[in-house]
Amino acid sequence: MHKNRLRFLVILILLLSLSSTMFATKALLLYKGSEQGYGYNVQLKYIAPELKKLLIDYDVIDVETDSFKNTSLNDYELVVSCYYTSQMNQAKQYLKSLFDYICQGGKLLIINNIGASIDSSGTNNPGLQELNSVYNLLGVSYTYSWKKSKPIQVSINSEFQADKTLSFEKERDVESYLFIGSNIEPLIQVVAGDNKTYNTAFLSPIGGMIGYNYLLDDNGKVTVNLSRVFGELIYGDWKNYKLLVVGKDNYELRKALDYTLLDYDWTPSLPSVLFGYEAVIYLSDTTEVNDANLNNYMLDGGIVVILSMGNVSRVIKGINVTNNIFPVPNEFKISWNKNVRFQEQKASSEILLTTSDNDVLSWKIKIGSGQFIYYPIDLLAKNLRGLFIQTVFSQLPISIQPIINSYSVYLDDFPLPAYNRKIDVLTREFGDVTDNNFYYNIWWPMIKELGKKFGIKYTTAFVANYNASVAWPFSFQEYINTPEQKKTLQELFDGDYEIGVHGYNHIPLTKSNWKEDELDNVLRTFKIFLRNVLDEQYIPYTYVAPNNIIDEFGAKELLKVFPDITSIGTTYKATDTISEFSVIGDKTVVIPRTTSGYYPVQTNISDSVLSIMTLGTFQYFVHPDDVFSTDRNPENKTWKEMYESIQSFISTIQMYYPFLNNHFSSESAEIIYEFLTKKPHISLTDKEMIVSLPLECDFPRYYYLRANKPFTISGGRIVFVSNDLYVIAQLDDVMKIVF
């Protein structure tokens, strides 16, 4: 363990040194006032605008003034110098300051020349040793070899070339820089009149140089893409795995992205620099892409997702999803029955989603080496968040999505009071039985058998009464209606089950239902009752809100009396803030139910799979009285039929998603808390991905991964594969995926 921690700290230090430029906030632009505006004008005309595009602040300072002497270079993430002459006052001291700055993690870009080869005093000139103390850190070796020459051939790195119609007919300065680093990227190479090749512009992870009038061509055109240069210096080879969203705020899209735990930027308008984003999601009024930067981004391999309405408006009955988007059972059908505005499929496009009537809803077109994806904005709904994420992520060359990978099964309202009633639905199927007979002699034994068959860990939600009391006196007379409730409660306590609480009664804990003092009294009364019937060893960790309703007032009062509660159950189908997977207080999480009831099986599968798409979890609730509840058994099915339905549902989920881990609610709460509060840091190059977790995380952590090329993993393992979707378990602080 100590060795792993040490290895993590070493890698973390490396990542931090790399990422120090990922979040660059300020640059220093240096010029010489004695050069009559040369460097100053270059900095303001060509350099400053590119920094602004990248949202980097900057200072412009004359290196020959006291302002520079009083400036600490370490306050800046990047220094850009631009000098015409080679003379510098106290040249050695200046070079030493650059050396110290780079050693402390700074980045240096030299434009034209280093500007300190000669001391202005005429004596104490720097030698090659002093000059190369800086150049060597940039990855090159310098020798005195300056000359003027007319270029015979000029080669510009195609990934950085700013213009394809550049002219280099005039005589220019050249000088020799020998590459000594393995990660130096040549930007401009010149074959001079002596037939020798000179590296006149280059880039390394620490900095670079654009030398001797090769920033501009004969006609004053910029030769290299400075946005790309600064992008490389800011992000380095490593970049955050990040998305860009453009447009007005959209709650459903924001929550969908929040649940992925991935970094994203959200801007109201399209920025001019798109470098560093895995995809651009554009909320637009049109499906047309008329922006040159966006088109160039796609041509260079970028993915653009347009979320908009379209030229078709139609009520759709359902949505079809194929295994190319996400592995789904044959029974998976999304019922919709709502009006959707969508854009007709373009010629030569590839279909992603269709309606149940085979209308094309979502599609994509290849543009250059990138892609254009259309997705109807009307499908940005809470229960379809996962559908959007998987539709987009399935099309990316490489995508990764942290997931919870935990599900729980709740026996809601159990054990519950019985009233020895004879109910028609039950007597027709079982003869002369009461509700008490059904709950404890039929339903519970069969549910226990179901749990054994499928390896399910049950969490119950015990309710003591169904009275409507919200004021004193509070009593527990219904608990002794029949002896079976008490016996089953003890059986659960002694067995491998989790006993959660539903409450003193079935009245939701909200400010509109309860006075503060009465709610405090009833919760304390319920706590004393639990100790009386289950002894002091019982501590409830799970609370399921009656009718799935609780507000901030109720949650606060609940946790005041039951501070060990780590899970509050609500419902995902609600629209309030306590219907989202979230953290309340210091350690309590809201776990909304996503699936409930015994049938229709197709609906249970659909609700669960959509939740698995979103977060890699689902939360399933059933009740012992569902069979004779008219709203939960609208087709008046028998218990036998409903039991067959629940078996079909669970077997289908376990068959298609065998990687999903089943936990008690309190166990799942711990996993969800870690998931929401300990976010992984994901960085990427063309060759590998690093996933690092904060210290003291629990393992394993899980991810959906897609890659369009083979890969190997260290610090993790593959636990499931379906088509191009991999489920990855991270087993160490740092996981490395090499492509």
> How confident is the model at residue 95, as a pLDDT?
97
Q: Mean pLDDT over residues 557-565, rounded?
A: 98
Is residue 669 assigned to a domain? Answer: no
Q: Which domain holds residue 719?
A: 678-738
How sure is the predictor about 25, in pLDDT bands with cuts at 50, 70 and 90?
low
Same domain, 524 and 543: yes
Same domain, 387 and 410: no
Is residue 250 assigned to a domain? Answer: yes
CATH number for the domain harbouring residue 116: 3.40.50
Is residue 556 assigned to a domain? Answer: yes
> Which whole-number Å values give the CA distances from 640 to 429, 450, 598, 634, in the listed order?
9, 13, 11, 15
How sure is the predictor about 238, in pLDDT bands with cuts at 50, 70 and 90?
low
Same domain, 231 and 243: no
First and final C-alpha spacing in the chain: 27
Is residue 11 assigned to a domain? Answer: no
Q: Is 534 helix (H, G, I), strand (E, B) or coil?
A: helix
CATH number for the domain harbouring residue 384: 3.40.50.880
Q: Mean pLDDT over residues 457-464, rounded?
A: 97
Is residue 110 assigned to a domain? Answer: yes
DSSP 124-153: S---HHHHHHHHHHHTEEE-S--EEE--SE
* Among 436, 642, 495, 666, residue whose Cα is nearest residue 568: 666
> How confident is the model at residue 7, as a pLDDT?
41
Give the domain-ending residue among 191, 211, 235.
235
Give the domain-ending residue among 396, 421, 442.
396
How sure is the predictor about 16, in pLDDT bands with cuts at 50, 70 and 90?
very low
Length of the chain (residues): 739
Is residue 15 assigned to a domain? Answer: no
CB atoms < 10 A from the CB of 55, how many? 12
Share of the chain above pLDDT 70, in %: 96
Task: Give the number of domains in the chain.
Answer: 4
Same domain, 540 and 573: yes
> How confident is the model at residue 434, as a pLDDT?
98
Residue 492: pLDDT over 70:
yes
CATH number for the domain harbouring residue 626: 3.20.20.370
Residue 10: pLDDT over 80:
no
Same domain, 258 and 230: no
> How confident is the model at residue 47, as a pLDDT?
95
Written as six digits, the tokens of 113 are: 């020349």
Is residue 8 assigned to a domain? Answer: no
> How confident is the model at residue 622, as a pLDDT?
98
Alpha-carbon distance 259 to 261, whole Å? Answer: 5
Same domain, 29 and 87: yes
- SS3 per-residue string spanning 577-603: HHHCCEEECCCEEEEEECEECCCCHHH
* Among 294, 337, 295, 342, residue whose Cα is nearest residue 316: 337
Same domain, 426 and 571: yes
> How confident is the model at residue 12, as a pLDDT?
39
What is the number of alpha carbons within 13 Å of residue 288 lying toward its C-beta?
Answer: 2
Higher pLDDT, 501 or 288: 501
What is the number of alpha carbons within 13 Å of residue 637 lying toward its C-beta?
Answer: 19
Same domain, 388 and 435: no
> How confident is the model at residue 55, as a pLDDT?
72
Same domain, 628 and 692: no
Same domain, 603 and 523: yes
Query: How high does pLDDT run on average in the chain?
Result: 93
pTM, to two decimals = 0.78
Is residue 13 assigned to a domain? Answer: no
How sure is the predictor about 536, in pLDDT bands with cuts at 50, 70 and 90?
confident
Same domain, 108 and 166: yes
Q: Mean pLDDT over residues 176-195, rounded?
A: 90
Same domain, 646 and 701: no
- Among 20-29, 135-144, 592-601, top mean pLDDT goes to 592-601
Give the domain-ending residue among 614, 632, 664.
664
> How confident is the model at residue 227, as a pLDDT?
84
> How confident is the model at residue 696, as a pLDDT?
84
> How confident is the model at residue 311, as a pLDDT?
94
What is the number of alpha carbons within 13 Å of residue 300 lying toward its C-beta?
Answer: 18
